[in-house]
Amino acid sequence: MACLSCLEGLRLFVPGHEFSGEAGAPAESVEAQKARRREGWVAAQLAAKTFLRQWMAEHPGEEVPEDVYRACQEALKSHLPEPWRRKQESDRCGERKDAELRSFVRHSHLELLRQEGPPQRLRSPAEWEALFPRYPSESPDGHGFLKSFEASDSEGISQALEKYGFCVVKALSKEQCEASVVAMFEEINALRVQKGIEGPPVAVEDDSTWFDRNWPSSCKFLVDDVALHRQAFANRCSANVYQAFRGIWGESRLHVSVDKWGVARGAKDRPRWRVGLKPHWDVNPWQCLRDLEAGVDPGYQGLIALRDQDLETGCHLTLPGCRHFLKQWCLERPLSKVSGSAKSFRASEEDPILRYMQPVPLRQGEMVIWSCAQLHGSTHNLSSKMRLAQYVRMFPAPSAACKANYDEKDSFSCTRVLRKCLRKGQLKWRDIEDLNLDGLGRQLLGVDLL
């Protein structure tokens, strides 16, 4: 934001205005002075925007370098009345005023990005495809299940994450997944009782029990509450999940999220249930970029498929290689109001990058792990079967002394969620003790920090 004292000098940018304080200058009322400041500000900003707009049009998709800001600053000075320029050159505060003018030029650039946005670079389909390489599929037509890694293959997982921004890992066994489905529907039906819903228990294989009045969740693809079933905690502390994330982070001192079950009802004959998650970033791309440039990893998200997820049931959807394109994307898009925060951001439906997103079908027990810098969403469920998942991610614990405190950043961090559940009575200490956690489980759930 430009310094407020800029207004004192910038009021003089309107050509033809006299320099206030010059010998012989007529006295002005306070209101007249304010009006001249406003006019000067508008005229100066118009001049700065015109200069910067022309440069961006000639250099689409390029970052504005410092010498262009300086050239804009000098161009603005040329609009100043001669008496003001002479005064600035002789004024001891000239250096400070130069800094204020630079601040004003940058502020004008930000306003231009917010209001109009920069021009986008034109690319051929081949150039777009080269930016977003397809993650390898195990089927010849590229529409089947994708290549998956053993949790112990840290090198393969890291290489896939680096190139594509996501990877598929073998996480749970069939038996663990089926136990998780049972656990999910125990919690779904417990939620029905809690809400006083009358009707038959919801059953995963009986679509006659899925009707809206019998369905307890207000969310279209998640269960309302975090998953607190014993099996959900067992999955969070899975040796395979831990091994995969330990390799990704290069760190053994990790915490795990306490997140929700994911469920999308089969919508073959119910178009209203065909709800895909629209492409978005969990943390907006401008904040992700700031984190990356500061050497802070924005983190990872994870989803375990509890039943097969294919193109018919709907599945995860992501833009392969998005992380590498993030800076360029920001340079070619209008600056959003959320850019100064860590809020999520949804991509425009007209954005050409959406054409290059890749579905990620998963076998039962496979886990997709993706960078928070990835644009992602999900496809519609067009089948008669439910799509079932559990969200799990890991990140360095505070004891790892990273640049970022992920426990504070993540709204589903174990310490934040478990403290809240204990405070609200959703969990008791006895429930945590009954999990019979080993040393690793206690570490992952941050039990000793609660």
Angle at 383 between CA 381 and CA 387, to 5 degrees: 55
Taking the domains of the chain in order of start, what are their residue ranges?
6-19+29-115, 145-449
pLDDT score at 281: 96
Torsion of CA 325, 328, 329, 330, to 10 degrees: 130
pLDDT score for 34: 74
Would you call 255 exposed, middle or buried from its count of C-beta atoms within 10 A (0-12, 13-18, 19+)?
Answer: buried
How far is CA 304 from each of CA 164, 177, 186, rounded to the nearest angstrom? Answer: 19, 9, 18
Confidence band for 5, pLDDT divided at 50, 70 and 90: very low
- Residue 431 structure tokens: 């429930």
The average confidence (pLDDT) of the chain is 89
Q: Where are the alpha helices (DSSP H) in 78-150?
A: 82-90, 94-115, 125-131
pLDDT-derived band at 18, boundaries 50, 70, 90: very low
Is 168 a residue whose pLDDT tops 90?
yes
- Give kind and range of the element (H or E) at residue 390: strand 387-391
Let me know: does 165 contact 370? Beta carbons within 8 Å: yes
**In whole angstroms, what is the distance from residue 405 CA to residue 449 CA?**
14
Element (H, E) at 389: strand 387-391
* Per-residue pLDDT tens digits for 320-369: 999 999 999 999 999 888 888 889 999 999 999 999 999 999 999 999 99
- pLDDT value at residue 100: 78
pLDDT, position 363: 98
Distance CA 178, CA 168 (A): 20
pLDDT at 98: 74
Least confidently predicted of 38-42, 175-179, 315-319: 38-42
Per-residue tokens: 47:
């001049």
pLDDT tens for 219-259 read 877 888 999 999 999 999 999 999 999 999 999 999 999 99
Give the DSSP letter string of 325-370.
HHHHHHHTSPPPGGGGS---EEPPTT-GGGGG-EEE-B-TTEEEEE
Mean pLDDT for the stretch of residues 154-165: 98
Say what the pLDDT of residue 17 is.
Answer: 44
- What is the Cα–Cα distance from 129 to 209, expressed in whole angstroms? 44
Region 423-437: mean pLDDT is 97
Residue 23 has pLDDT above 60, yes or no: no
**Percent of the chain topping pLDDT 70:** 89
Contact between residue 409 and residue 351 where contact means Cβ atoms under 8 Å apart: no
Quote the CA–CA distance of 385 and 313 in Å, as a whole number.
Answer: 7
| 427 has a pLDDT exceeding 70 | yes
Looking at the predicted structure, is the pLDDT value of residue 54 above 80? Answer: yes
> Distance between CA atoms of 149 and 154, rounded to whole angstroms?
9
pLDDT value at 399 more than 80 = yes
Closest listed residue to residue 113, CA positions, set 331, 436, 439: 331
Q: Is the pLDDT of residue 371 over 90?
A: yes
Which amino acid belongs to residue 8? E
Euclidean distance between CA atoms 316 and 318, whole angstroms: 7
Q: Residue 7's pLDDT is what?
A: 46
Which superfamily does CATH assign the domain made up of 145-449 to? q2cbj1_9rhob like domain (2.60.120.620)
pLDDT band at 127 (very low <50, low <70, confident <90, very high): very high
With vertex at residue 329, the alpha carbon angle to CA 328 and CA 330, rounded to the nearest 5 degrees, is 90
Contact assessment for residue 307 and residue 385, using Cβ atoms and an 8 Å cutoff:
yes
pLDDT of 9 reads: 45
Q: Indicate if the alpha-carbon torsion angle 122, 125, 127, 133 is positive or negative.
A: positive
Query: Residue 82: pLDDT above 70?
Result: no
Helix axes 66-77, 94-115, angle to 10 degrees: 110
CA 185 to chain centre: 30
Task: Write down the H helix ranges in 116-223.
Answer: 125-131, 154-164, 174-194
- Tell me which of 133 and 273 has the higher pLDDT: 133
Residue 285 φ/ψ region, left for φ over 0, alpha for ψ in the -120 to 50 degree band, beta for the rest: alpha
User: What pLDDT sits at residue 141?
Assistant: 72
Contact yes or no for 248/158 (Cβ under 8 A): yes
Distance between CA atoms of 323 and 166, rounded to whole angstroms?
10
Q: What is the pLDDT of residue 8?
A: 47
Lowest mean pLDDT among 42-51, 53-62, 380-389: 42-51
Tell me what pLDDT residue 88 has.
56
DSSP class of residue 273?
Answer: G
3-class SS of residue 75 = helix
Query: What pTM was computed for the model?
Result: 0.86
Average pLDDT over residues 95-124: 86
Query: Would you say 318 and 168 are in contact if contact means Cβ atoms under 8 Å apart?
Result: no
